[in-house]
Amino acid sequence: MSLDPSFVGRTYPPTAPYQVGREKIREFATAIGAAEPAHHDPAAARALGHPDVVAPPTFPVLVTMAASRQIIEDPDLGVDYSRVVHGDQRFAYTRPVVAGDELVCANTIEDVSTRGGHGFLTTRTEVTTPAGEPVVTVWSKIVVRGES
């Protein structure tokens, strides 16, 4: 089944808030080798003007990957997850993510195309606070490999 291009522009309902925890930031930073003190030590983060530890720039992947299930599991779109590979990811920050944040994701399908027998799906996820304050916009491209 190929991806349905009529989905371009479709927006999904906002997710439930995700509570960003200090330990989750520390664990993520350790896992990716981000040793900067502001990712681990609240005092170091406060010295830089942040209220608590600061998440590494790729941390929102934890939240947006979970939110992307809305899209991936939409049966009418036609994504065969067993054939998916990661294509691209980029972030545009309004402000850093810090421990104590509550984050809500709203997904939009920006592009659906087919090239060389493979489907390409580009999504945009607006990550905000529950009050609607912008935090980061995340774009993700996945490739759904065609049948060999």
Q: Domain range for residue 90? A: 5-21+54-144
64-101 per-position pLDDT tens digit? 998 999 999 998 998 989 999 999 999 999 999 999 99
Flag whether 37 is in a domain.
Answer: no
Flag whether 125 is in a domain.
Answer: yes
Flag whether 46 is in a domain.
Answer: no
| CATH code at position 122 | 3.10.129.10
Contact 25, 18 (CB under 8 A): no
Q: How many domains does the chain have?
A: 1
4-33 per-position pLDDT tens digit? 999 999 999 999 999 999 999 999 999 999
Flag whether 45 is in a domain.
Answer: no
Q: Taking Cα atoms as reference points, which of 16, 24, 3 lies closest to residue 106?
A: 16
Q: Taking Cα atoms as reference points, which of 108, 117, 112 lies closest to residue 77?
A: 112
Flag whether 9 is in a domain.
Answer: yes
pTM over 0.75: yes
